[in-house]
Structure 1
Amino acid sequence: MAAHDNSRQAKQALAALAFNRRRMLALGGLAAGAGALGACGSNTGRGSSDGVNLYQWYHQYGEAGTKEAAEKYAGAYEDATVTINWVPGDYDTTLSSGLLAENPGDYPDVFESHLNRSMVDSGQIVPLDDLFEGVLDDFTDIDVKRNSIDGKIYGIQMIDDPQFLYYRPSLLADAGIAEPTTFDELAAAAAELTDSDVKGLFLGNDDSATKLFQPIVYSAGQTLLTDDFQIGFDKDTVIQGALQVKALHDSDSLLIGAPTEAWDPSSIIQGLCAIQWCGLWALPQIIDTYGDDIAVMPFPGFGGGAQTVYNGGWSTFVNAKSEHVDEAKAFAKWLWIDNEEYIQDWCLSYGFHIPPRKSMAANADALAEGPAATAVQISQDFGWGDDPNWTPTMETAVDDMMTHIVLEGADPSAEFDAAAQTIQTELDSIFG
C-alpha cells in the first residue's frame, strides 16, 4: 500500500507542475516558441573549499538581461559552485523530468516553481522554516500562505507580480468613459472603445474565459477552499459571474487571436486593444511607448462585489533529493532572503516586480510613483494569491465548467454541479 501511495503522490506532483504551465504563461517571462528541452548551463560559482556543487534551475524569463543576472548572482556565491540551468520552452515538463532524475547534476538542488500540496506529499521538497527566523514578519501574508502547507513553509518568494488592467486614460477620456469599477462597466467600456481597427479589451487568447473564475470568487469575498478544506464558493455567485463573462464573450469587444499572449504587452503597445490584462513586469515597456498616457486599474468587481488583483510571482524551493540539502538551503537564504542588492536588482532592473520583503519593497524607488505606485497599492488593497491546496484536478474542473458555460453555452447549473462534485471527490481523497 505504501508503494502504491508514493507512486500516486509522485504522479500528482508531476501533474501539479504541469498545472502551473497556464499560470506561468499568464505570469509572464516564459518565452514563447522556444525549444522545450534545450536547457542551457552556466557554471559561474567560485566554489568552496569542500567542493560542493549546486545546480539551480530557472524558467527562461523573457526580459533581457535576466540570464546574465542569474549567472552573476551564482558567481558571487563563495560557499559552493553554483551551476545555472536556464530552461527555455515548457519549463514544467523539463522540471518534472529533472525532479525524477537520479544522478546529481541531472536534477536541480534549488529550483523555482509554485507550491502545490502534492509536491509535499510526494517528498519532493524540504521545509525552509528555519531560514525565516527573525524575518518572517517582513513577508506578506499572501506570500507566506502560498508557500506553506500544514503550517510549514516550503518556498521563498522571489518576486511578486500583481496582474491588473492597463489602459490609456486619453482613450477613455475621449470616449467620455470613467475608469470601470464593475464588470458591467468594463463590458460597456470595451464595447464603446471597439471599432474596426481596435478591440476594447484583451484578456488572453487561450484562457480569457477560464482565467476569470477566480476573480469571480474573490470579488464576492469568497475563497477557493476554506481553512478546513471545504469548497469556499457558492453556486449562485459562480453562475452569475460566468453568465456575465459569457455575455462579454458573445459581444464583439474582445481581442481574440492576438499575435502574443496577454503576458506580453505587445497588443496594447501596437494599438490592437484599448484595455489589456497584463502584469507589473510590463510597465517599463508600456511607458516607453505611451509615456504618461498609461494607467492601471484592478479587475472590476462582479455582481456588486469588490475589485480584485491576482498577485502572482515565483518562489524558490530546495529539492529533497539533493545530496547537499543544507548547502542548498544556505544558498537559497543568501540569495532570496538576505541579499537586498540582488533582490532589488532581480525585481527592478529587468521589468518591474515587487520585492517580496516588505522592507525592501518600501525602499524600491522605481515603484514609488505613477502607475507603478498605483500597482503596488491596488495589489495591497485588492490582492489575492494562489492556494497550494487547490490541485490541478480542481482547476481543470472549473476550467472545463467555465469553457462549457462561456464558450459552448452549456447549462450553468449542471456544469457547476459537475465541477463541485469533482472538487469534493478530490478533497475527500486528500483530506478524508
Structure 2
Amino acid sequence: MSAVSGPHRPSRRAILRSAGALAALGPLAACGNNNGRGGSSSGGGKSISQWYHQYGEKGTQQAAQKFAKAYKKADVSIQWVAGDYGSKLSAGLLSSSGPDVFEDQPNIQMVKAKQAVPLDDIVGPVKGDYLPADIASHTIDGKIYGVRMIDDPQFFYYRKSLFAKAGVQVPTTLDELIAAAAKLTNGKMKGVFLGNDLHGIAAPLVWSAGADTLTADHKPAYHTDAVVGGLKSLRTLWTSGHLLTGAPTDYTDPGSFLNELCAIQFCGMWAMPAILAKFPGDVGVFPFPKVGDAGKLSVYNGGWSAFVSSKAKDVDAAKAFVKWLWIDQTAYQKEWALNYGFHIPPRASIRSQATKLQSGVAADGVKLFNTYGHFDNPAFTPAMATALQAVLADSVRSGGDPGKALDKCDTTVNGQLKQLFG
C-alpha cells in the first residue's frame, strides 16, 4: 500500500528495512494521532498504541480505525505516521513513548537491539497456513518475529496497445528492456520509469543477475561480473534519453504510468486496481528481466508485518491485540489485502478466498510472485541496503566505475557482518 497515492515512499526498501536500526535518529516528529476507540474506557483500563505508515490508498486510515474500534479488550489508538516512517519509527523504538504495536519488516538489528519480542506463541498454532518464505524471513535465531500482514510483489506494468504499435515484445533481458524503451519513447512519453533514484531496483538487479545479497553463511554475494555488467547497461539507459527521470512522484506511485509519462513502469501490485481502471484490457505485467548470460527473472516481494515492541506498556496485552487482528480476524485481513489496492494475503486459507486475484492481470501478478519471488534476507541490514543503493547512485546516476562502487559497498557490508556474526 502506498504512502504517496501508490504505495510505500521512495526508497521503499530503505524505509521498510531502516526502522530497526540501532542508532538514534533524533527526536520523533509529530505523528497524526487518530484514536480508533474515541477515548472510550471499554478496554478495561488497558491502552495500546499502534503505528502505521501513511498509506496512500483511499479508505486505509478509516479501515485501521475501524479495526481498532472493534477491539474490546483495550483502547487502541492509531498513529498514522506521515513522512519518513522508517526514521520516525527508529527513534520511537528507542523511546519509552514509542509504539506498543508497529508495522515494519524484520531485520536482525531489531532483534539484537531487543526492540521487538518473539511471537512464536501466537504464530505457532497457524504457522502452516503461512507462506514458508514469510515464516523463514521472519525467523531470527530460531524465533519468529512479526506477523505478516500483506505480501507486495513488485514488477513492470506495460500498455499492450503501445507495445503492438511499436512492434515491441515483452522484454526478458535487460538489453531487451533498454531496446524497448528506445522504441516506445516519443515526444510526449518516455519508454520506461524505474524510479527517480533507482533505489527500488537495487536488489532486483542483483537477483536478475543470478546473484544474491548475502550467501547462506553471511558473506557478500552481490559483487559479480554480471552485476557489474548490469550496472553498465543501466548507465547506458540513464544517458539514453529513453528513461523517465525527475518524475512528479516516485516508482511506488503509479502516477507516471497513469498520466502517460512512460510506457513501462516498475511498481507494485498495490497499484493494480488504479491502473486497470485507467486502461481496461490494455495492461500487462512482467518480472525484472534477466541480466547477463546466467541471469534469472526476478520479482521483489515487499510487504508489511505487525510487531510488538519490547518497550510496550503491556507486552501481553499488545500480543493479544496482534493475535486478535492479524491472526483471528480473517475477514479484516482479507479486507486489508484486497479492498485498498491489491496485495497477496500471506495465509493460504485467505488466499483461497481472494477471488479478485484469481483472474486476469491480477492472476498474472500472483503467478509472477509465485514463480520468481524473492523475500528480504533479515541479515541484510538497513546499512547494507543503503550501501547497495549507493552503488546505483555512484555508477548509474553519476557515471562512476561500477567495480569501485561495489568495493565501497563491500566495506560497509563486511563491517556490518563482522559486527553481527563475528
Report the counterpart of residue 85 of structure 1 in structure 2. 79
1:346 aligns with 2:336: yes
Q: Give the letter for the 1:381 counterpart.
A: T
Please state how far the C-alpha of 1:60 moved relative to its aligned partner. Answer: 1.1
Please state how far the C-alpha of 1:383 moved relative to its aligned partner. Answer: 0.5
Q: Give the letter for the 1:336 counterpart.
A: W
Report SS of the residue matched to 1:119. Answer: helix
Please state how far the C-alpha of 1:159 moved relative to its aligned partner. Answer: 1.0
For residues 13 and 390 of structure 2, the distance between their equivalents in structure 1, rounded to whole angstroms, comes to: 19
Offset from partner CA, 1:283-320 (integer Å, 9 cap, x none): 11111111111111111111131111111111110011
1:51 aligns with 2:48: no
Report SS of the residue matched to 1:134. Answer: helix
Please state how far the C-alpha of 1:47 moved relative to its aligned partner. Answer: 5.4
Please state how far the C-alpha of 1:111 moved relative to its aligned partner. Answer: 0.7
For residues 183 and 290 of structure 2, the distance between their equivalents in structure 1, rounded to whole angstroms, comes to: 19
Report the counterpart of residue 219 of structure 2 in structure 1. 230
Offset from partner CA, 1:324-379 (integer Å, 9 cap, x none): 11111111011112211000111111111111112211210111111100001100
1:393 aligns with 2:383: yes
1:162 aligns with 2:183: no
For residues 372 and 354 of structure 2, the distance between their equivalents in structure 1, rounded to whole angstroms, comes to: 20
1:379 aligns with 2:372: no
For residues 319 and 72 of structure 1, the distance between their equivalents in structure 2, rounded to whole angstroms, comes to: 22
Report SS of the residue matched to 2:79. Answer: strand
Q: Call closer, same or farther: CA 1:26–1:261 in 2, change over 3 Å.
A: farther
User: Which of 80, 90, 95 is the aligned partner of 1:96?
Assistant: 90
Please state how far the C-alpha of 1:48 moved relative to its aligned partner. Answer: 5.2
Q: Call closer, same or farther: CA 1:39–1:21 in 2, change over 3 Å.
A: farther
Contact 2:43 2:72 in 1 (8 A): no
Please state how far the C-alpha of 1:415 moved relative to its aligned partner. Answer: 2.4
Please state how far the C-alpha of 1:26 moved relative to its aligned partner. Answer: 8.5
Please state how far the C-alpha of 1:389 moved relative to its aligned partner. Answer: 1.0
1:412 aligns with 2:405: no
Offset from partner CA, 1:256-297 (integer Å, 9 cap, x none): 111111111111111110001111111111111111111111
1:67 aligns with 2:56: no
Between the two proteins, what is the percent identity of the paired residues?
A: 47
Please state how far the C-alpha of 1:85 moved relative to its aligned partner. Answer: 1.3
Report the counterpart of residue 3 of structure 1 in structure 2. none
Where does 1:4-403 land on structure 2 (aligned, <5 Å)?
22-23=11-12, 37-44=30-37, 50-102=44-96, 106-205=97-196, 207-208=197-198, 210-304=199-293, 305-403=295-393
Report SS of the residue matched to 1:381. Answer: helix
For residues 60 and 31 of structure 2, the distance between their equivalents in structure 1, rounded to whole angstroms, comes to: 17
For residues 393 and 99 of structure 1, the distance between their equivalents in structure 2, rounded to whole angstroms, comes to: 17
Contact 1:298 1:382 in 2 (8 A): yes
Q: Call closer, same or farther: CA 1:164–1:330 in 2, change over 3 Å.
A: same
For residues 193 and 404 of structure 2, the distance between their equivalents in structure 1, rounded to whole angstroms, comes to: 29
Report SS of the residue matched to 1:254. Answer: coil
Q: Give the letter for the 2:81 counterpart.
A: V
Contact 1:26 1:262 in 2 (8 A): no
Contact 1:213 1:238 in 2 (8 A): no
Could you tell me the TM-score, scaled by structure 1's length? 0.88
Q: Give the letter for the 1:301 counterpart.
A: K
For residues 264 and 350 of structure 1, the distance between their equivalents in structure 2, rounded to whole angstroms, comes to: 14
Report SS of the residue matched to 1:95. Answer: helix
Report SS of the residue matched to 1:400. Answer: helix
Please state how far the C-alpha of 1:235 moved relative to its aligned partner. Answer: 2.5
Report SS of the residue matched to 2:297. Answer: coil
Report SS of the residue matched to 1:416. Answer: helix
Contact 1:216 1:237 in 2 (8 A): no
Contact 2:69 2:76 in 1 (8 A): yes
Contact 1:36 1:89 in 2 (8 A): no
Contact 1:37 1:90 in 2 (8 A): no
Please state how far the C-alpha of 1:24 moved relative to its aligned partner. Answer: 5.9
Structure 2: 5+ residue stretches without partners: 1-8, 17-27
Q: Give the letter for the 2:30 counterpart.
A: L
For residues 400 and 277 of structure 1, the distance between their equivalents in structure 2, rounded to whole angstroms, comes to: 19
Q: Give the letter for the 2:368 counterpart.
A: I
Q: Call closer, same or farther: CA 1:225–1:313 in 2, change over 3 Å.
A: same
Aligned length: 401
Report the counterpart of residue 14 of structure 1 in structure 2. none
Q: Call closer, same or farther: CA 1:355–1:410 in 2, change over 3 Å.
A: same
Q: Give the letter for the 1:417 counterpart.
A: D
